């Protein structure tokens, strides 16, 4: 995808790690735990993202841009942690994402021929589409009798 200069948003496991000094965060889980976000009234490093669903429902979630290891808003790849509850980081409603889409206003976004810039809300929206496509694919395979493949 990099060679073809295609933009992407991929999900990673919370245990995804990189080389780091002993006193630095070395995984997405450690970066989430080190963040100063605790609640809606004290978001700290977190940014409120309002997710919109097809049925008209909305939910407030929280996104944290990771600046550690190879990731950051000015780096070739950005890591983002998205959660419904920043205080407890529940397993099923906490996502760990990586993207090569530049942050708005970054020098990477200003480069000619660069991929389109994406703020945190757009990265969350794009990953929500991935989840929807995966679920639709699973249902289609099951309906066709291909569930075991």
Establish if 58 belongs to a structural domain. Answer: yes
pLDDT value of position 136: 85
Establish if 3 belongs to a structural domain. Answer: no
Establish if 72 belongs to a structural domain. Answer: yes
pLDDT tens by residue, 46-102? 889 998 888 999 999 999 998 888 999 889 999 999 998 888 889 899 999 999 999
Establish if 116 belongs to a structural domain. Answer: yes
**Closest by alpha carbon to 81, among 16, 131, 4, 2?**
16
Number of domains in the chain: 1
Establish if 148 belongs to a structural domain. Answer: no
Establish if 78 belongs to a structural domain. Answer: yes
Residue 78: give the domain boundaries: 9-143
The whole-angstrom separation of Cα 148 and Cα 29 is 32
More confident residue, 38 or 139: 139
**Measured CA distances, 22 to 49, 52, 67, 78, 144 (Å):** 32, 40, 16, 22, 51
Tokens of 115: 């991929």
pLDDT tens by residue, 89-144? 898 999 999 999 999 988 888 787 789 999 999 999 999 888 778 888 888 888 88
Contact between 99 and 9 (Cβ < 8 Å):
yes
Pairing of strands 78-83, 94-99: antiparallel
Establish if 32 belongs to a structural domain. Answer: yes
Establish if 1 belongs to a structural domain. Answer: no
Tokens of 7: 């933009």
Cα 94 to its chain centre, rounded Å, is: 9
**Measured CA distances, 114 to 14, 117, 119, 127 (Å):** 29, 8, 15, 20
């Amino acid at each position: 995808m990099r060679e073809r200069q295609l933009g992407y948003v991929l999900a990673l496991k919370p245990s995804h790690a990189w080389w780091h000094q002993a006193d630095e965060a070395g995984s997405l889980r450690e970066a989430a735990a080190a963040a100063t976000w605790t609640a809606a009234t004290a978001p700290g490093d977190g940014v409120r993202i309002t997710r919109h669903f097809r049925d008209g429902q909305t939910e407030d979630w929280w996104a944290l841009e990771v600046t550690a290891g190879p990731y950051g808003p000015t780096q070739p790849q950005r890591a983002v942690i998205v959660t419904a509850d920043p205080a407890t980081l529940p397993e099923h409603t906490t996502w760990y994402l990586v993207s090569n889409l530049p942050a708005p206003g970054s020098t990477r976004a200003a480069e000619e021929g660069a991929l389109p810039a994406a703020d945190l809300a757009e990265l969350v929206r794009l990953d929500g589409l991935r989840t929807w496509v995966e679920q639709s694919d699973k249902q289609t395979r099951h309906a066709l009798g291909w569930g075991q493949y």
